[in-house]
Amino acid sequence: MRLRPSLALAVGGAAVLTLVVAQPAFAATRTWTQAGDSWWSTATWTGGVPIAGDDVTFDGGPRSTYDLGDLGFGWFLFPTTHEVANGGGAITLSGGIEVSGGSTARIEPQLTSVGSQAWFVESGSTLQLPSAVGSDPSTFLRLTVDGTMTVEAAGNLDAGGTGCIEKQGTGVLQLLGGGGGVGTCAGQPRGLLVAAGELAVVGTPNLGGKDFAVTGGTFTGGTASGAAVVHELNLVGTGVVSPGPSSGAGIGMVELWGTSTWTGGTFQVDWDAPTNDSDYVYGSGQAITVGATRLDVRLAGTPTPGQFVRILGSDVSFTGQFAAPDGTALADGDEFTSNGQVYSVEYIAEGGASGVLLHWLRAAPVVVPPAEPAPSETLADSGAPQLWPLGAVAVALGAAGAALVGYRRRTRRTS
């Protein structure tokens, strides 16, 4: 059996299937041990040259050249840094991929997954995919990325338009290319499911064939000078759409080629007041619907009174309302406060300029909490009789008696 023999896969918090990733009992594990050579060489392997169904561990040198033709294996395991160069042939995996120990794995041959699978990239580790990756269109591929996984510009991540691909883990899945179609994961909107961590569309690639469903992670992408193109971008649950590079900290644009619906989550908008530039999502020939998505505005600089930016647009129509950070629905013209600034929203429902305008109004007043009153030395009146201690009473009576005796003596002397 291989690592991680079974996994309950959850979508939106509900377990939808159990993924069994065990290999057949007859499969063997072959370990790469040399600094660099071709796969056909028997000297490069512990256990002999891999055959169909075997697991392969790369625990030797930094590079091997795959030249066994089209062949299927179980798991690829990368405990150390290694590049599988393409010398001829495509690879099919029935188990999965694991990159661990802070290593970097690079797989140049075309990859295809068959059956339900989970791929793992541990924290501090990297998986680079410069070629096409085909996921089984009839089932599920879960990418648990706590490090970094990159589909390069000439690569692809394609589920045939029907298979489910889910991004989990705290790390980043970077797409520099790859507009291949993805289907629907059970119970979720259509698209590559961004359930945790970050999915970054790096730069301005055209991924017009790929849909995304952001349910719990963060979708970022585009630049200030050019848009990243995707098909549908659906936003629900606790997902976040934050256009721009640097995990959304920069300003970016995202162009939509498919009808997209936002029914929750958060739209994080960066606005640079000196240049009056902001994040912008717009539908080309597509209507956009928003309901209950919260606005989180991150302002740089100070706008002038009346200054505004367009944050969402469509050349067809806009329907719905955003919500304030506290969840309060925002009608047209309503004011709200985000990160210490007061804004209002303007909705344009029809026509080529449909969308949402964000107006800056003023800085929110700084609320200073009242100072705590100084502790009083006066005892609070409880309503009960105040009892003097006997010693204090005796001292007081003694002092009064002494004063009276002294007074009488003075009186006698003067009489």
257: closest CA among 236, 280, 294, 228? 228
Tell me the C-alpha to C-alpha distance, in Å, between residue 364 and each of 121, 341, 343, 406.
44, 5, 9, 72
Beta strand 63-66 with 148-151 is: unpaired
pLDDT value of position 79: 98
pLDDT at 35: 85
pLDDT of 410 reads 39
Please identify every stretch of the chain with a pLDDT value under 70, giving residue numbers as ranges. 1-26, 374-415
Element (H, E) at 276: none
Q: Is 353 left (phi over 0), alpha (psi -120 to 50) or beta?
A: alpha
Q: Given this model, what pLDDT does residue 406 score? A: 44
Strand partners, 358: 309, 345
* H-run or E-run covering 407: helix 390-414
Q: What pLDDT score does 18 carry?
A: 43
- Name the β-bridge partners of 346: 357
Instruction: Determine how many CB atoms are found less than 10 A away from the CB of residue 384.
Output: 6
* Predicted pLDDT at 42: 86
Q: Are 319 and 330 in contact (CB under 8 A)?
A: no
- Element of type H or E holding 390: helix 390-414
3-state secondary structure of 43: helix
Q: Are strands 14-20 and 6-11 parallel, antiparallel or unpaired?
A: antiparallel
Dist CA 210 CA 205 (whole Å): 11
What's residue 375's pLDDT? Answer: 66
**Mind listing the pLDDT tens digit for each residue in 242-258?**
999 999 999 999 999 99
